[in-house]
Amino acid sequence: MRIGLRLQENSCRSIVLDGRTIVSAAREIQAGSLAEALDSALSGLSREFGSGVRDITADVGHVLATRKLADVVAVHISPRPPADVFHAARLPAHVEPAVSRTVHVCGGHDMRGRPLAQLDLEAFLTVLPSILSGNVRNVAITSVGSTASTDHETRIADAILSNDSEMRISISSDFYSSVFRDRDYTTVLNTALMATGEELAALLDAAGRRHFPAATLSFARNDGGRAPLPRLAVAPVHGLRPEPASAILGAATLAGVPNGEVVICTDSGVSAGHIRDGLPAANSLIRQGYEASLASNAAVVESYTANHLIRPDVTSVIADLRTEQATPLPFGLVPTLPSAQDVALVGSAAAPLTSWIDRLETISGRTDLAAVQHRAEEDAQSAVVQLGANPGQIHIIESNVFAMPYGNPGIVRIRVQAAGETSSNKERFLAAEARCAAP
Amino acid sequence: MSTQLTADDVRHLRTGAHFLACAIDPTAIHVYTDMVLQAMEHQSLELTTVDELASDDLVVAVGMVTQGLFIADMPPVGDEFLGCIKAMEASLGRRVRAIYPLAAANINGMIPLMVGLQASLPVIDSDPMGRVFPLISQTTLNIGQVPISPIAMMGVTGERALVEANNPQRAETLVRALVTELGGWAATAMYPCTAAQLKEHGVHGSVSRMIRIGQIQDAETSVERKFLMLAELLDATRVARARVSHIEGLSRPTDLGLPAQPSSVTLEDESTGQIIRLEIQNEILLVLVDGAIAAAVPDMVTLLNSEHGTVVTLDDVRVGNVVDVLTYPAAAQWYSPAGLDLAEPTAFGIPLRHPRRSHA
């Protein structure tokens, strides 16, 4: 059995899933603090289901989104600093106040991974004492061309850590986007959330050990998958907005549909996404209008309109999650799931371990292309194993190669998603079912 | 007639610039739009027609040439285009009176606005492509034999170059090589000419066309109504509403020194059963419907989200997506024999003549 949790500031909502069946409907515990609510929720579930529970996955997005961001020092590595205020990178308004100081360091790489300028480590070392002596313990490092070479970012990070190993550091090469401001925004936000991520990971770990010592603990990711709890302390940004993906996965899980369209109807409107091979179809960016995008793989969700094309050969799962269901759904939609369920919580419980490889590769022809794609698939599978998956239960969900318009001839982007399940969990996740169902 | 651009005009131009070049990620346009809107708070921005300039006024094209580094990964620091204009003036011994976009689409449609604000120069409502082409030699000014050089360049690192080459194809080769070594992009000023030459050989109304497209796309009206308005404005045809069934990288051989790899997208029109194939290299070059040519470069192609009517960037195309494939003609100059020599499929390594050539 698997537990899905949703943490909020002073409450914890839970569901228990056995295969695709809900064995304990969503229930919410309110308490004086999140720790108390979590403890109380897990204590009750432990009495009821005991050692039958193998996996616990928590959606921590609400807590991450509502906590005050920690202060961050942003380090920008590029050949030259902005010459005027108009050309300086701008962060979205909710993150901008978290940056207490921006330090420019000369450096950066082109798309071939060649240095655009020598890293001016010496100059950085002269300002480092003033960074370390301040109150800010979080540093976000973003370099031009870090999708092609991580060298300058890691050297700056090493310089900081060798002087103070307690500093929390994020580097932008951990997040794939070809846009500096996207990586800067994501890195700053990730760093600003790391303390909260650490706190939540410790809280969940302590409560989990107390009540379910044999279960593995994870947090729900924005792509509909999950990652082990220790990752929450280093990459909290991937757990910031899991609910849209979890809702798609949860509805598809309850319907037993590994491939198809999922329509979610709520009080605020109707949206649609796709489930492919047991996981939500995902994009590498969470777009926010014309502002910087969050460089985190997340479900593609679009608003449903009267122009929506219905494809007869594609299964549709329609979930009616409105508080009141007396009136019919808009657009003539008819629910396919029996009643209002907390499908996002089901999705958290059902989430498999997921991993992405998203990187640039240099190729000279088709043979090369096949080789680098194969290597990326191997790396993605290996990454899922490192997260705890059983090598025998891993599937490649997506494997794509993208030409880069106006890029260097010979450089392509390779993007691969792998998903897997732990050896302790004998329940097949939806992606595995998709493979078994395939002819 | 000269007009002062408003913030709304700039926002619409952002949308129109993306519409006309859906092959390229629009983030750099968004970044530049923010800059322009910020700068406009302190200064007005003039869009002028070529008719309002004295016939011998010196005008230059400004724009980015890229080969590798995405502009959005290293936005210019702010002094590059001013440096290029200064270098151009020093080389020619004359003051530049106005600037025009190297290409009136995507990032190069937006950049002249920022440069105009920085340099206090009017922006001309004309350009030498009327769309985006990958090569700097693919211009209507080249068709009219207006010299491309001197070309002033400044790269990511602040390094500069001035290229003097009479042959536009040689200039393209030299500039492309320099851009690679300058870091992946270069701010450039090129095609210095008189207002009279631009008037004779340029594509006119191309900046205001981007604004008009944006007004339609940004309007609070139905997707179908927007399509009808765009069809009227651009003489556009919806070739298909089709679902992406296959995406293929490195789908054709390439040896022409063009940036990027060729790729192809296959779609299926579920209502007609037709198979649509898009051949791509930097831009969408060819649209085939059941093997017949529905559009071929220099024709223009835009992909729209069939449900929302928004532009679909090629980066975001995935198997299963349903898109409307819109085609519309490029500027008339491109369908002359000299224009087709520069910009029909054979110029991109696809062994096909443009259908209009055989009818000429």
CB-based contact, B337 to chain A, within 8 Å: no
What b/e readout covers A305-338, taking b as 16+ CB neighbours within 10 angstroms?
beebeeeeeebbbbbbbbeeeeeebeeebebbbe
Q: Tally Cβ neighbours within 10 Å of residue A131.
A: 19
Are residue B328 and residue B249 in the same domain, yes or no? yes
Are residue B235 and residue B288 in the same domain, yes or no? yes
User: Is B72 within 8 Å of A178 when comparing Cβ atoms?
Assistant: yes
CB < 8 Å to A260, chain B: none
Chain position carrying tokens 């129109």? B16
- Nearest Cα residue in chain A from B184: A110
User: Is B78 within 8 Å of A84 when comparing Cβ atoms?
Assistant: yes
Sign of the Cα torsion A40, A45, A50, A56 reads: negative
CA distance readout (Å), A223 to A181, A197, A241, A394, B285: 22, 18, 9, 16, 34
| pLDDT range class, residue A378, cuts 50, 70, 90 | very high
Of A150, A362, A149, A114, the closest CA to residue B182 belongs to A114
Q: Which of residues 340-379 of A touch B (CB under 8 A)?
A: 363, 365-366, 369
Amino acid at B86: K
CB < 8 Å to B243, chain A: 311
| Sheet containing strand A72-78, strands side by side | A99-106, A72-78, A138-143, A168-171
Kind and range of the H or E run holding A318:
strand A316-320
Average pLDDT on A410-414 reads 86
**Nearest-CB residue to B308 (from A274, A305, A402):** A305
Are residue B30 and residue B99 in the same domain, yes or no? yes
| pLDDT range class, residue A55, cuts 50, 70, 90 | very high
User: Is A180 within 8 Å of B67 when comparing Cβ atoms?
Assistant: no
User: Is A412 within 8 Å of B261 when comparing Cβ atoms?
Assistant: yes
CB-based contact, A308 to chain B, within 8 Å: yes
User: Is B74 within 8 Å of A90 when comparing Cβ atoms?
Assistant: no
Q: Is B95 part of any domain?
A: yes
The residues facing A358 across adjacent strands are A415
Q: Tell me: pLDDT of A329 over 90.
A: yes
The structural domain count of chain B equals 2
Are residue B188 and residue B269 in the same domain, yes or no? no
Q: Is B233 part of any domain?
A: yes
CB-based contact, B272 to chain A, within 8 Å: no
- The phi, psi pair for A34, rounded to 5°, reads -65, -40
Q: Is A273 part of any domain?
A: no
CB-based contact, B250 to chain A, within 8 Å: yes
CB-based contact, B72 to chain A, within 8 Å: yes
**pLDDT tens, position by position, A114-155:** 999 999 999 999 999 999 999 999 999 999 999 999 999 999
Are residue B37 and residue B167 in the same domain, yes or no? yes
- Nearest Cα residue in chain A from B241: A309
- Nearest Cα residue in chain B from A145: B73
Are residue B115 and residue B260 in the same domain, yes or no? no
CB-based contact, A142 to chain B, within 8 Å: no
> What are the DSSP calls for B74-123, one per residue?
S---S-HHHHHHHHHHHHHTS---EEEESSSSHHHHHHHHHHHHHHT-PE
Average pLDDT on A86-106 reads 94
CB < 8 Å to B247, chain A: 400
**Nearest-CB residue to B73 (from A82, A179, A303):** A179
DSSP 8-state class, residue B276: E
Q: Is A146 part of any domain?
A: yes
CA distance readout (Å), A131 to A124, A128, A255, A292: 10, 5, 53, 26
- The phi, psi pair for A431, rounded to 5°, reads -60, -40
User: Is B260 within 8 Å of A182 when comparing Cβ atoms?
Assistant: no
DSSP 8-state class, residue B195: H
CB-based contact, B119 to chain A, within 8 Å: no
Q: Is A2 part of any domain?
A: no
The residues facing B227 across adjacent strands are none
The residue from A154, A169, A193 where one domain ends is A193
CB-based contact, B322 to chain A, within 8 Å: yes
CB < 8 Å to A182, chain B: 27
**Burial (Cβ within 10 Å: 0-12, 13-18, ≥19) of residue A93:** exposed
Residue B318 has what pLDDT?
82
Q: What is the CATH number of the domain that holds B122?
A: 3.40.1610.10
CB-based contact, A425 to chain B, within 8 Å: no
Of B241, B209, B207, B210, the closest CA to residue B223 belongs to B241
Kind and range of the H or E run holding B264:
strand B263-268
Residue A438 has what pLDDT?
46
Are residue B160 and residue B295 in the same domain, yes or no? no
| pLDDT range class, residue A401, cuts 50, 70, 90 | confident
Using a pLDDT cut of 90, give the percent of chain A over it: 79
Residue B206 half-sphere exposure toward CB, CA atoms < 13 A: 32
Structure tokens at A1: 């059995």
Sign of the Cα torsion B193, B199, B203, B205 reads: positive
- Closest CA of chain A from B28, distance in Å: 8
- Closest CA of chain B from A414, distance in Å: 11
Q: Per-residue pLDDT tens, chain B, 360 aa: give them.
A: 789 999 999 999 999 999 999 988 899 999 999 999 999 998 999 999 999 999 999 999 999 999 877 889 998 999 999 999 999 999 999 999 999 999 999 999 999 999 999 999 999 999 999 999 999 999 999 999 999 999 999 999 999 999 999 899 999 999 999 999 999 999 999 999 999 999 999 999 999 999 999 999 999 999 999 999 999 999 999 999 999 998 876 555 555 455 455 688 999 998 899 999 999 988 899 999 999 999 999 999 999 999 999 999 988 888 888 999 999 999 999 999 999 999 999 999 899 999 998 655
Residue A425 has what pLDDT?
54
CA atoms of A187 and A173, how far apart (whole Å): 9
Kind and range of the H or E run holding B64:
strand B58-66
Are residue B200 and residue B238 in the same domain, yes or no? no
The structural domain count of chain A equals 2
Structure tokens at B36: 């322009």
Q: Is A366 part of any domain?
A: yes
**Nearest-CB residue to A111 (from B68, B241, B306):** B68
Q: Is A271 part of any domain?
A: no
Q: Is A17 part of any domain?
A: no
Pairing status of strand A21-30 against strand A55-59 = unpaired
Q: What range defines the domain where residue B289 resides?
A: 227-350
Q: Tell me: pLDDT of A428 over 80.
A: no
Phi-psi region of B88 (alpha: psi -120 to 50; beta: other; left: phi over 0): alpha
- Closest CA of chain A from B55, distance in Å: 34
Of A308, A321, A316, the closest CA to residue A265 belongs to A321
Chain position carrying tokens 């069946």? A21
Q: Which of residues 234-293 of A touch B (CB under 8 A)?
A: 274, 276, 281, 283, 290, 293
**Nearest-CB residue to A81 (from B77, B114, B180):** B77
Chain position carrying tokens 């700039």? B10
CB < 8 Å to A78, chain B: 74
Q: Residues with Cβ < 8 Å from A280, sequence gap 6 or more?
A: A223, A224, A244, A245, A248, A249, A262, A273, A274, A299, A300
**Nearest-CB residue to A407 (from B114, B183, B259):** B259
Amino acid at A354: T
The residue from B175, B206, B237 where one domain ends is B206
Q: Is A288 part of any domain?
A: no
CA atoms of B164 and A163, how far apart (whole Å): 51
Pairing status of strand A11-18 against strand A138-143 = unpaired
Radius of gyration of chain B (CA): 19
What global pTM score does this model have?
A: 0.93
Sign of the Cα torsion A206, A211, A212, A213 reads: positive
Q: Tally Cβ neighbours within 10 Å of residue A244.
A: 22
CB < 8 Å to B24, chain A: 405-406
User: Is B70 within 8 Å of A179 when comparing Cβ atoms?
Assistant: yes
Contact A183, A295 (CB under 8 A): yes
The residue from A137, A170, A193 where one domain ends is A193
Sign of the Cα torsion B194, B197, B202, B205 reads: positive
What b/e readout covers A363-381, taking b as 16+ CB neighbours within 10 angstroms?
beeeeebeebbeebbeebb
- Closest CA of chain A from B359, distance in Å: 32
User: Is A87 within 8 Å of B76 when comparing Cβ atoms?
Assistant: yes
Q: Is B142 part of any domain?
A: yes
CA atoms of B125 and B2, how far apart (whole Å): 9
CB-based contact, B313 to chain A, within 8 Å: no
CB-based contact, B267 to chain A, within 8 Å: no
Task: State the alpha helices, DSSP H only, in chain B.
Answer: 7-19, 27-40, 80-92, 106-119, 140-143, 168-182, 195-201, 206-218, 223-234, 337-343, 355-359
Are residue B94 and residue B39 in the same domain, yes or no? yes
- Closest CA of chain B from A176, distance in Å: 12
CB-based contact, B157 to chain A, within 8 Å: yes
Average pLDDT on A284-304 reads 94
**pLDDT tens, position by position, A165-206:** 999 999 999 999 999 999 999 999 999 999 999 999 999 999
**pLDDT tens, position by position, A277-286:** 999 999 999 9
Sign of the Cα torsion B14, B16, B22, B24 reads: negative
Are residue B173 and residue B30 in the same domain, yes or no? yes
| pLDDT range class, residue A424, cuts 50, 70, 90 | low
User: Is A403 within 8 Å of B315 when comparing Cβ atoms?
Assistant: no
To 10 degrees, what angle do helices B80-92 and B106-119 make? 70
Of B74, B91, B73, B75, the closest CA to residue B83 belongs to B91
User: Is A179 within 8 Å of B254 when comparing Cβ atoms?
Assistant: no
User: Is B250 within 8 Å of A405 when comparing Cβ atoms?
Assistant: no
Q: Tell me: pLDDT of A380 over 90.
A: yes
CA atoms of B151 and B85, how far apart (whole Å): 10
Residue A433 has what pLDDT?
64
| pLDDT range class, residue A363, cuts 50, 70, 90 | confident
Q: Tally Cβ neighbours within 10 Å of residue A44.
A: 15
- Closest CA of chain A from B53, distance in Å: 29
Of A250, A253, A234, the closest CA to residue A242 belongs to A250
* Span of A28-32, A196-200, A224-228, B250-254 with lowest mean pLDDT: B250-254
Tell me the pLDDT of chain A averaged across its residues. 92
Structure tokens at B258: 């063009």
Residue A439 has what pLDDT?
38
CB-based contact, A31 to chain B, within 8 Å: no
Structure tokens at A207: 């409560």
CB-based contact, B64 to chain A, within 8 Å: no
Interface test with B, best of A114, A401, A406 (most B CBs within 10 A): A406
Q: What is the CATH number of the domain that holds B263?
A: 2.40.390
Q: What range defines the domain where residue A429 resides?
A: 352-437
CA atoms of B111 and B13, how far apart (whole Å): 11
Average pLDDT on A397-417 reads 84
What b/e readout covers B200-219, taking b as 16+ CB neighbours within 10 angstroms?
ebbbbbbbbbbbbbbbbbee
Q: Is B30 part of any domain?
A: yes
Amino acid at B354: H
CA atoms of B253 and B276, how far apart (whole Å): 21
Residue A434 has what pLDDT?
61
The residue from B176, B206, B236 where one domain ends is B206
In this predicted complex, what is the ipTM? 0.92
Q: Is A399 part of any domain?
A: yes
Are residue B64 and residue B154 in the same domain, yes or no? yes
Of B222, B224, B220, the closest CA to residue B238 belongs to B224
Sign of the Cα torsion A61, A65, A69, A75 reads: positive
The residue from A154, A176, A193 where one domain ends is A193
CB-based contact, A408 to chain B, within 8 Å: yes
Size of interface A-B (CB pairs under 8 A): 157
The alpha carbon of residue B180 and the mean position of all alpha carbons in its chain are separated, in whole angstroms, by 20
Q: Which of residues 83-102 of A touch B (CB under 8 A)?
A: 83-87, 89-90
